[in-house]
Amino acid sequence: MKAEYVNPFLNGTVNVLKTMAFVDPKPGKPYVKQDKKAVGDISGVIGLTGSTKGAVVVSFSRECAMKVVSSMMGEQYTDLTDEVRDAVGEITNMVSGDARRSLAELGANFEAGIPTVVVGKGHEITSMGKGPCLAIPFKVDNFDMTVEISFE
């Protein structure tokens, strides 16, 4: 995976969450992830095809998902309801879109699939493909979220 693929996803995440959820995610140091186990409790997954094959996962801790979606929708969520799940899928969709625009400027063109959302502690993301997986951790206030990208 090319190192230049990281920043579009990092910046896309910050842009989407600042613009639509009015929160300020602080990125940490990206790391290589060895297993397919999701870091968070709820994850949005989108497959990417084009210049190469890949996937992006936007994974939130339970608290982080509720914080972000509550802020976005202007009402308090206290559980991972269908609405929170839908919002995580839509956020993943927009992060992927924002990143794809930046990737296109680098000459890498991708089409995105339909987002799926997986819920549960320690859930596995089986659609991440064969390539190495890079995880970018973020803090939203004190809550954790991670964006994982994988390209063949």
Partner 1 sequence: MPSNILVVEDSRTTRKFLTVVLKGDGYHVITAENGIEALERLSSINVDAIVTDLNMPQMDGLEFIRAIRENDDYSRIPILLLTTEGEERGRKQGLEAGATAYMAKPIEPEVFLGAVKKLITVIGQ
List interacting residues with partner 1 (CB under 8 A).
15-16, 19-20, 69, 72-74, 83, 86-87, 89-90, 93-94, 96-98, 100-101, 104, 110, 112
Burial 109-130 (b: 16+ CB within 10 A, else e): ebebeebebbbeeebebeebbe
We find the least distance from the C-beta atom of residue 30 to partner 1, in angstroms, to be 22
Nearer to partner 1, 40 or 115 (CB): 115
Nearer to partner 1, 90 or 132 (CB): 90
Nearer to partner 1, 36 or 90 (CB): 90
Contact 130, 5 (CB under 8 A): no
We find the least distance from the C-beta atom of residue 125 to partner 1, in angstroms, to be 21
We find the least distance from the C-beta atom of residue 100 to partner 1, in angstroms, to be 3
Nearer to partner 1, 63 or 90 (CB): 90
We find the least distance from the C-beta atom of residue 37 to partner 1, in angstroms, to be 26
Handedness of CA 129, 39, 1, 89 (dihedral sign): positive
> Tokens 């309801």 identify what position?
81
Helices 82-105 and 6-21 pack at an angle, to 10 degrees, of: 130
Nearer to partner 1, 15 or 52 (CB): 15
Find residue 137's DSSP bridge partners: 146
Contact 60, 68 (CB under 8 A): yes
Find residue 54's DSSP bridge partners: 48, 151
We find the least distance from the C-beta atom of residue 7 to partner 1, in angstroms, to be 15
